[in-house]
Structure 1
Amino acid sequence: MRTTLGLPANVEGVLAYLFGPLGGIVLLLIERNHFVRFHAMQSTVTFISLWILAGISRFVPFVGWILTGLVNIVAVAFWIGGIYKAYCREYYKFPFFGDLAESLLRLF
């Protein structure tokens, strides 16, 4: 698959996850390859959403630290899973976030 940066598409997909939402945003701005753009959008949407959710859960009395820990565990699992699936050249969609990323890609 051809990419704007000249790297293999799976490597660029990995970069979208490796650097969190920042890597996703940069790749969304410069890349035209659909595979890379999908993983970049999914990374951006997933990790910004989880970051916001973790921030909000800190203010929940009594169980906030448990919720924050769970959100962080989910974030690490998505991060590792996203890196692996992109490297394997799979269009794997995360639950909820994958569909949201796909619909947002249609707007851009």
Structure 2
Amino acid sequence: MSSASFEPDRSSTGIDPKVAGLLAYFLGFITGIIFLVVEKQSRFVKFHALQSIAVSALFIVINLVLGFIPVIGWLVGLILTPLGFILWIALMLLALQGKSFKLPYIGDWAEQQSYKF
């Protein structure tokens, strides 16, 4: 886990880029998609929007798969749910602090894609 190489730059949304980064995580992939579509210039906001979309999609897939596994899947879900909540809060707070915190694999992907959007 590391920080991406770009600092919060001015957002085309008119919102402080740190707040926009936080809001990109707020409703998971929903706000991630909204900020990805609306943001025209800030790579910082685009990075957080893309990472939000990817993390949300990953957790949805994991929960769906675990739902098909009797007992063990339910128990693993009981552990992953609070961990996912903690990760969600941490990512929002890091974005609010102006940090481009990269999760393993997902963060690298989000950083690469933020240059393309």
Question: Structures share a fold, TM > 0.5?
Answer: yes
Q: 1:69 to 1:104 in 2, by over 3 A?
A: farther
Identity of aligned residues (%): 31
Which of 58, 64, 76 aligns to 1:55? It is 64
Which of 97, 104, 107 aligns to 1:95? It is 104
TM-fit CA distance, 1:62: 2.6
Q: 2: distance between equivalents of 1:107 and 1:57?
A: 33
The gaps in structure 2 that reach 5 residues or longer are 1-8
* 1:18 corresponding residue in structure 2: 26
Quick check: 2:43–2:114 contact (8 Å CA) kept in 1?
no
With a CA cutoff of 8 Å and minimum separation of 6, indicate the structure with the bigger relative contact order.
Answer: 2
Structure 1 residues 21-42: Cα deviation after superposition (integer angstroms, max 9, x where no partner)? 1000000011021000000000
Length, aligned pairs only: 108
TM-fit CA distance, 1:13: 0.3
Which of 63, 67, 73 aligns to 2:76? It is 67
SS at match of 1:44: helix
Q: 1:3 to 1:106 in 2, by over 3 A?
A: closer
Q: Which contiguous aligned blocks of 4+ residues in structure 1 show a shift greater than 6 angstroms?
A: none
Q: 1:96 to 1:73 in 2, by over 3 A?
A: farther
**Amino acid corresponding to residue 49 of structure 1 in structure 2:** L
* 1:45 corresponding residue in structure 2: 54
Q: TM-score, normalised by structure 1?
A: 0.90
Q: 2: distance between equivalents of 1:30 and 1:20?
A: 16
* 1:3 corresponding residue in structure 2: 11
If each structure's helix is expressed as a fraction of its own residues, which one has the higher value? 1
